Amino acid sequence: MALSSFLLEFKELADPDLRSAFYSDLSLQKTENPSWYEQSIQQWLRIISSCTEHGYLSSDTASNSSNNPKSKDSLNTLNESYADLNYTCFETAGLESKFIIENDSPTSMQEIITELLNRNELLVYSDYINRDQISTLSLLFSWMFSSKKNSLNNSTNNKIVVLSLVKKFSERILETQKQNCVFKVTDNLMTNERFCRIFYSCLNPVKISGKADSSKRKISETDYRAIIAFLEKNGHVTVGKLSSEKDIEIIRFTDSISNKSPISLLDIKVVDLLLSEENVSKQILHLENRVSENREKVGRALEKKNKAMAISTLKYCKHIENEILPLRYKARDLVVGIITQIQNTSSDADHLAAIKSGTEALTLLQKSSGITADTVVETFEELAEVLAGNEEIQTTLQTENEILANRAGQTDSAVLEEELNAELDKIILEMKSETEYSYKPGKETSRNISKEKEIIIGNKKQQSVESKPSHKNNKLISNQSSDNESNKSAEPAEKEKVLEISY
């Protein structure tokens, strides 16, 4: 996608009216309309960051095709120069021209960049990678004395770092390294060339199509310096030289800021060993490819019936396979074996260090807590005495409670019995008084008594007739009848007795 097409994905730039306001002089709005000014600055930061992240502001190769005839219309056609694209930085030279859309160009680019620099959203590249205090004075002075007030001075080319992108890519690199690191002694060490190659995908650049060599897919030198500066400032890596003769940097990932020791001799030797293994592997791959290519030549020579050429080429293949490759295989196995031993030794050292740390921690815990064999014995003896004393106390309490309960029970029983007897006497007296009052002699009473007697005598006769047993249920009915008869006959007898007492 061309830059002009990419810019139209932002609504502020796609609509002509919005774009006209967005491209106007923002410095006038800083005091008149602060809210809109702040919103516009934030939108410009988002647009600039997005364009930089996709490589559109990298260099002249990423310039807008409508204003740069030498560049391609689309980044997808960049097959050779894409390895040099920057995804964290952009240059101020010609920046306005890259944002031209349908002859509309921003008139406040100087104001925008200056404001973002003051907010530390953007940083001057040279100041940043030199690890000095961030300063924007040089950039500001160059713009202040520019002949054109509202446009960037093309003669002054300043490289600007987008800090948010550097931070984002650095976090991706750290997460990738954490996942891939198995043996710290070797996996945490690498050269700058290897760093740029293996972490290229963490920058998530625009995918380039074409026949470009995949080995060129690596982080650019500009991005490498910006990212390494960020990682080093935050204590994530230590950087040093492999040797004074070789222009190769050693990068060692660290676990914390406190572990910022310089590159040691051990680090240098390990990196040398890793480079040797890498070089031998490259040689083996090169020889194997050469054998494969020459065997294809043998086939083509035979097709042309050129037997002499076929035999000569085949001899060369055999020489590589039998004389050269075996030695390279042995050399690689030897180097890999040494690397493996270093990794194992490092693992053993880590294991021993963990045991030592655990032992020291246990010793400190025992000292601080005062735990010894004597204190353990004394503590358990004291516990046994306390438990025995507590058991005796519980037994005594239970016994005394039972005695007290028994005493209370006897007293309560005596009191209850006296109360019951007194209440029974009271009930008997009430019953007697009620009986005397209910059955005083009188005419009406005599008639009632005579009538009651007749009823009782009639019931007696009926009960005697019904109480005769049948032949079939002789025994059962006899028992039931006798019981009923005795019960029923008892009632009139009691009544007659009461009547007689009343008279």
Element (H, E) at 310: helix 307-319
Q: How far apart are the first and last CA of the chain?
A: 134
Distance of CA 366 to the CA centre of its chain: 35
Q: What percent of the chain has pLDDT over 90?
A: 33
Question: Mean pLDDT in the chain?
Answer: 76
| Cα dihedral 25/31/35/39 (nearest 10) | 30
The mean pLDDT value for 176-193 works out to 91
Banded model confidence at residue 249, pLDDT cuts 50, 70, 90: very high
User: For residue 244, what pLDDT band results from cuts at 50, 70 and 90?
Assistant: low
What average pLDDT does range 200-219 have in this prediction? 65
Residue-level pLDDT at 191: 93
| CA separation for the pair 6, 96 (Å, rounded) | 16
pLDDT classification of 498: cutoffs 50, 70, 90:
very low
CA distance 54 to 163: 15
Residue 130 — very low, low, confident or very high, per pLDDT cuts 50/70/90? confident
Per-residue model confidence as pLDDT tens digits over 370-390:
778 888 888 888 888 888 888
What is the side-by-side order of every strand in the sheet holding 237-241? Answer: 189-191, 249-253, 237-241
Encode pLDDT of 229-239 as tens digits. 999 988 899 99
pLDDT the model gives residue 410: 59
> At residue 486, does pLDDT exceed 80?
no
What are the structural domain ranges in the chain? 1-263, 275-370, 443-502
pLDDT for 259: 63
Q: Which of 210 and 320 is assigned the larger pLDDT?
A: 320
d(CA 335, CA 235): 31
Say whether pLDDT at 274 is over 80. Answer: yes
- The answer to whether residue 459 scores a pLDDT higher than 60 is no
Identify which of 272, 287, 209, 273 has the alpha carbon closest to the alpha carbon of residue 241.
272
pLDDT tens for each residue of 419-447: 777 877 888 888 877 766 554 555 444 55
Rounded to an integer, what distance in angstroms lies between the CA atom of residue 461 and that of residue 195? 128
Over the stretch 18-53, which tens digit does the pLDDT of each residue have? 888 889 888 888 888 899 999 999 999 999 999 999
Compute CA distances 115 → 109, 122, 141, 269, whole Å. Answer: 10, 9, 14, 48
* pLDDT for 44: 94
Q: What is the DSSP string of 160-201?
A: EEEHHHHHHHHHHHHHHHHHH-S-HHHHTEEEHHHHHHHTGG
Give me the pLDDT at residue 483, please: 52
**pTM higher than 0.75:** no
Q: Which of 278, 294, 285, 390 is nearest to 335 (CA)?
A: 278
Per-residue pLDDT tens digits for 301-358: 999 889 899 999 999 999 999 999 999 999 999 999 999 998 888 888 777 888 888 8
Whether pLDDT at 74 is above 70: no
pLDDT at 465 over 60: no
pLDDT for 450 equals 53
